[in-house]
Structure formats: structure tokens, C-alpha cells
Structure 1
Amino acid sequence: MKKYLFSALAIACSAAAFAQQENLSNSTKPIHAEEPPVDGYFVQSDIENRKVIPYATIRQTDVAYKKRVWREIDLREKMNKAFASPKSRLIDIIIDAVMKGELRAYDPTPTENDPNGDSFKNVLPPDQVMARFGGDSVLVEEFNENNEVIASHYEARAFSGENVIKFRIKEDWIFDKQRSVFEPRIVGIAPLITPQIPGMDSNVGMVPAETGGGAANFDPFDPFAVQPEQNQAANAPSNVPVPTVNTGLFNPQVDPTPAFWIYFPEARHILVNKEVVNRSNDATGLSYDDIFVKRMFASYIVKESNPEDLRIKDYIADGKERLYESERIKKSLMDYEQDLWSY
């Protein structure tokens, strides 16, 4: 009997020893060529093995209030810098998943069955996804010693996500009376691109840096940007004449538009395994799914659901007033939640 007992204990101890991770801090064994060393002192595998935590089920009869809003995330803001980190850039993750067939992209072009282009009606093929960013191939010419073109061929263009600095989010704010919870749920995410108009200089509408510090950071394609001439006129001394702006120049206002839409419930299964770079701590273990579900980003509202289907910029011309309107909509949502309860 004792012999069987000792055998069982020996087997259990050996199994536990094999199950434990090797102590990388005190490793003395030589590493074989086919087994590269671990980059660090522990194997970080929790992100790769994570699964999506499903939302609570919502029944239509339990929805007492619902409000749809569209908001934009500007990656140039300090709180959103992680989205543009070269180590884990959000647009690179999305493009890679789309090109591998792990994620579907939806066409943002308004059609008869999708008037706004954001209802996930029409699937966008992967080859057309790259065309939205300027094409997936480039013509390369070959020259001889006399600098004459002797041949040409097409080469695949490497995609760079540095040009994508904004994302648009479509979400619903829902009050579930069954659970007594008022929460936002993201429906879709779209990277924004600025359409390139032939013959238009990319610097058209830009004010030189010499005109002032505020004008140097002015973005003519930002619908919420404050016009530089307003700041210049307000800050100029009374005895210094303000230079006039030549109204005859071609100064179009081109709004950033969605390149494609991603259905967020589908994207969660990809984003949950992608770690977000944290400036303060490398061991936070936050994924992009955590960032979106926990609302760890800065944004401003550009539209709320209304009978006329108007955007904020459609009824407010001034950029500063649009920001005030965005904050007013945010406050109205928070006030609704506070008004639900009495203390």
C-alpha cells in the first residue's frame, strides 16, 4: 500500500514540476538553435489567450431609452497617443485583420439600401480596402546610364498607418430597465481619410508658421478647428494693422470621410488579443477591447440622432461653438442618467 502511495506522490510531483514555467531568472542550460530565448524574464501569454467577455443580453422590451451618437477620436490628443504607437497601431491591426480575412470591412458609400453608408449593408472587398488609402501598387521605372526609361513594372506599396489620425465611432446609449443600467455600446469604428482632390495642393488653406503659434497648428481639414484669422485679429494690438486674407484663393474645405466601417462586435475578437502600449507602465495588460469597453479615450461628438439627420456642423458654423454643442450633448446624456435616481 505504501509503495502505491509513494508512486502516486512521485507522479504528482513530477507532473507539477513539468507544469510550472521554467525559472528564466536562474536559467543555466544552453539554449538550442531552434529555440530562441525569451525576450524578458517571464512569458507573457495572457493577451494571446484572452477571450471576449460577452455583453449582457438586452431585450427590446427592456430598452426604456436609446440615443445614437457619432463621435471622433483624434490621435493627436495626448490621451489617444497609444492608438498611434508604432508598436501597436490601431489602424495597422485593423488592416492586417482585413487583409487576412479575419475581419470584414463595409463600404461607407451611401447607397439606396444604406443612405448614410454606416449600416453595414455592403461588404468591401480587401483589395478595395487598400485602394481607399491611395492604392496597393506603384509604378517603378528603370533607367539606363543616360537617365532614360528603359522599362517599368508595378511593385506592391507598403501600407503606412501614420496618415490616419482620426477614427469615427458609432455607438448607442441604452438604458436597460431590467438591469437598471445606462451604458454605451459601440456599434462600429471607421478610420477617417481626407480625399485627395487632383490639382489641389495639400497645403492649401494652411497658414505659415510665422503668422503665430496658434496658426501653425491649424488643420484646415478639421471640422472643429478654429480659424487662424480669428485668433490673429483678437490677439493683434490695436495700432498694428491686421493683414487681409485674399478671398480669391482657392480654399476648399474637405472633410475627412470614413475609408470603411468595421462592425465592433466582430472586431472585439481581434482587439482582445492586441495589447495597448502604456506610457506609464508596461505591465498593465490592457487590450484594445479593454480600452473601448472601459472608455479610456478622449473624443468629441459630431452628430446625434435627430429627425432631420443633421450633423453638428450642418447647423453650427463656428468651430468653437461646435465644441460647446458637443459638450452639451455629452452633458445631456449624463444628466439623463443622474435624473433616473433620487437620493
Structure 2
Amino acid sequence: MIENMKKMLFSIAMLVSLQAMAQQENLNNSVDPIDTLPPIDGYVMKSDVENRKVVPYANIRQTDIAFSKRVWREIDLREKFNQAFASPKSSLISILLEAIQEGKLRAYDPTPTKNDPNGDSFKTLLAPDQVMARFGGDSILVEEFNENNEVVGSSYQQRDFDPTQVVKFRIKEDWIFDKQRSVFEARIIGIAPLITPQIPGMSDFQAPNADENAAASPADPFDPFAVQAAETEGAESTAENANVPIAAIPAQPFAPQIDATPAFWIYFPEARHVLVNKEVMNRNSDATGLSYDDVFIKRMFSSYIVKQSNPEDLRIKDYISDDLERLFESERIKKSLMDYEQDLWSY
């Protein structure tokens, strides 16, 4: 009897302790000071995202692939639908760089080579310091001055990285139709942040003044309001220059356009183990429960296609110069992929 009472008291004590531990996960409502430091920032501790595991893809055999198409697309973070990727609380570029510095992710060199014209075959590794140097995150020399504005010393300090300079990401993915499962799906292979190279001297480029160009170039003979040389030089000058051909008006110089290029490539199947534990911030609700892995797997982003696999290995901008027509071509490629799936079935 006494033994049963001891077991019952022990069970009650364990139940009380478990309830106390469960309550500790929420904000303590008592007036007593909280023992754990620091206290929980809120009423509920968000631990579900941190403890999640990657849901593996279904296995695909090569003999079951009835159709495959490789596509490169870009995500513009300035679009309203993609602004969550640039949130200061949980930006995608900060997550990737932090994982690279901690050794959880490997970055690959995007430099094109003879055997890798696109530079996205994940062949050459980049060291973490090389990755940060591409974003201006390397060390800089800072001089120290005294009260007389004299240099008394210098030291190297780490330059802070600004996540806002990354406004685009490039994705390489394969669209696959698995005839064994009768599923047509996209599987992301790699992700690359895009940066604009800083070319020396480009910041000093200034467009020429329109007034100076007008003064240097001859007057347009087809402009009825332009002052012609014949009106100022007289009839004799007109007769002498009657047989002189009209000089062509030189084209106005313009600033060269520099395309954004990948800073590094991340192998997405490897990155999933990092992205699955990083929550995406939502504008409408803080309790989204969505991780970056969910966003990519469920295709919860807006993008446009910049290239599809083709025998000539051409990008869209290689054969279409107009920006608006490029968007139309991107939508045409999207529609062709969707039409392939629809054409598989008959109703």
C-alpha cells in the first residue's frame, strides 16, 4: 500500500513538473521573476521551424523520364510578391552567406570556362573569404588620426556587408515528367545571387551635355527652326559650299550597360538542409509557419525566364533586343511548358 502511494505521489510530481515545463515555453504569468535568461520574446516559443527536417524528393529513374527541359529564371526582389526574400529580419542572401561562413554550405565559382560556358556546373569551390570579397566584405585599411589631424596609426577592419545590394537571384532548374508517377514537376538545381560588377572608371562616366553636342555638331538641314550656315555666311559662302556634301550628324554616345552576373552558385539539394530551418517573414501575419524550403518547393515566388536549353545555347537577350519582347518570350516559354502537361491528358 505504501509502495503504491509512493508511486502515485511520484506520478503526480512528474505531472506537475511537466506542466511547469510546458508553461515555461509560454510567457510566465506569475509575479515571480523568471529563472531562465534571457526570457522568451513572446508568448510562444517558435521551435517547429528550427526542428524541421527536409522532406526528400521522390526517386526518379532515368528510364522513367519521358520529358526534360532545363530552364534558367530570375527572381527580382523589388517585385512586391518577392519582398519577403529581402526582409531585414530574414533575408535570403544573409542566410546563404552566414551558412557559407559557418561551413554549412559550399559556394561554387560562377566564372565561365571552356568546359563550362555557363559557369554553373558546380565544379570549382570558393573559399568563404573569396565569397565575401565579391560583395565588398573584405578588410579595409583604416587610418587613425590625432587631434592635429596627423596619421598616428592604421589597422585593418572588416567591411560591413549590405544585403540590399542584392536585388536578384538566378535559379537553374529542370522540368521533368515522370511517367512512372505521372507527375510533371520542376526541381531546382542551383541558386545564385546576382551582383553588378564594379568596373574601374565607370563611376566617373558622365553623359555629354546636349548643348555642347549641339554646338559641336552641324545644324540639322531638315530642321526648319535651326539656324543654317547659309543664313549667316551670305550668298557667296552658299555658292562656294553648294557642292559640299552635308556632314552626317554623329550619334550620341551612351553609357555602356553592365549586366548583373552571379556572385556564386549554391547547390540547392545541399541548401535545403539550411533553408528548411529558416522562416520566411510575411507582411500579413507573423505566424506563417513557412520556411524558405517551403517557398521554393511550393513555387511561392514570382520570376521570369531568361534562358531555356537549346542547341545554340542562346539566352533570350541574345536573339531579342527589346525588353518588352523578352518578357513576352519568357511567358511564351512558360506557356509551352504548361501546354506540354495539358496535352498529356484527354478529357
Per the normalisation by structure 1, the TM-score is 0.83
**CA radius of gyration, larger in:** 2
Instruction: Write the letter of the residue equivalent to 1:27.
Output: S
Deviation at 1:114, TM superposition (A): 2.4
Instruction: Write the letter of the residue equivalent to 1:18.
Output: S
Equivalent in the alignment of 2:226: none
**Where does the alignment leave 5 or more consecutive residues of structure 2 unmatched?**
208-249
1:36 paired residue among 35, 38, 50: 38
Equivalent in the alignment of 1:255: 259
Equivalent in the alignment of 1:179: 181
Deviations for 1:281-312, whole angstroms, at most 9, x for unmatched residues?
11111110111101110000000000000000
- Please tell me whether residue 283 in structure 1 is matched to residue 282 in structure 2: no
- SS of residue paired to 1:50: coil
Deviations for 1:39-88, whole angstroms, at most 9, x for unmatched residues?
11111111111111111111111111111100000000000000000000
Deviation at 1:250, TM superposition (A): 4.3
Give the Cα separation in 2 of the matches to 1:202 and 1:87: 35
Give the Cα separation in 1 of the matches to 2:150 and 2:28: 61
Alignment of 1:254-273 (within 5 A): 254-273=258-277
Deviations for 1:173-220, whole angstroms, at most 9, x for unmatched residues?
000011110000000000000001101128868xxxxxxxxxxxxxxx
Instruction: Write the letter of the residue equivalent to 2:344.
Output: L
Given that 1:204 and 1:250 are in contact with CA atoms closer than 8 Å, whether structure 2 keeps it comes out as: no
Equivalent in the alignment of 1:223: none
1:323 paired residue among 327, 331, 338: 327
Instruction: Write the letter of the residue equivalent to 1:90.
Output: L
**Where does the alignment leave 5 or more consecutive residues of structure 1 unmatched?**
206-245
Give the Cα separation in 1 of the matches to 2:17 and 2:189: 44
- Please tell me whether residue 18 in structure 1 is matched to residue 22 in structure 2: no
Deviations for 1:109-147, whole angstroms, at most 9, x for unmatched residues?
112442321010111111100111124111212223343
Residues 153 and 74 of structure 1, relative CA distance in 2, 3 Å threshold: same
Give the Cα separation in 2 of the matches to 1:133 and 1:30: 45
Deviation at 1:18, TM superposition (A): 3.1
Give the Cα separation in 2 of the matches to 1:202 and 1:313: 28
Identity between Structure 1 and Structure 2 (%): 70
Instruction: Write the letter of the residue equivalent to 2:173.
Output: E
1:56 paired residue among 55, 58, 62: 58
Give the Cα separation in 2 of the matches to 1:53 and 1:176: 19
Equivalent in the alignment of 1:230: none
Deviations for 1:247-295, whole angstroms, at most 9, x for unmatched residues?
4434111100000000001100001111110011111111101111011
Equivalent in the alignment of 1:100: 102
Give the Cα separation in 2 of the matches to 1:57 and 1:11: 49
Given that 1:113 and 1:121 are in contact with CA atoms closer than 8 Å, whether structure 2 keeps it comes out as: no
1:132 paired residue among 107, 131, 134: 134
RMSD between superposed Cα atoms in Å: 2.1
Equivalent in the alignment of 1:210: none
- SS of residue paired to 2:123: coil
Give the Cα separation in 2 of the matches to 1:74 and 1:328: 19
Q: What count of residue pairs does the alignment treat as equivalent?
A: 302
Give the Cα separation in 1 of the matches to 2:266 and 2:204: 28
Given that 1:70 and 1:168 are in contact with CA atoms closer than 8 Å, whether structure 2 keeps it comes out as: yes
Residues 63 and 204 of structure 1, relative CA distance in 2, 3 Å threshold: farther
Give the Cα separation in 2 of the matches to 1:63 and 1:324: 29
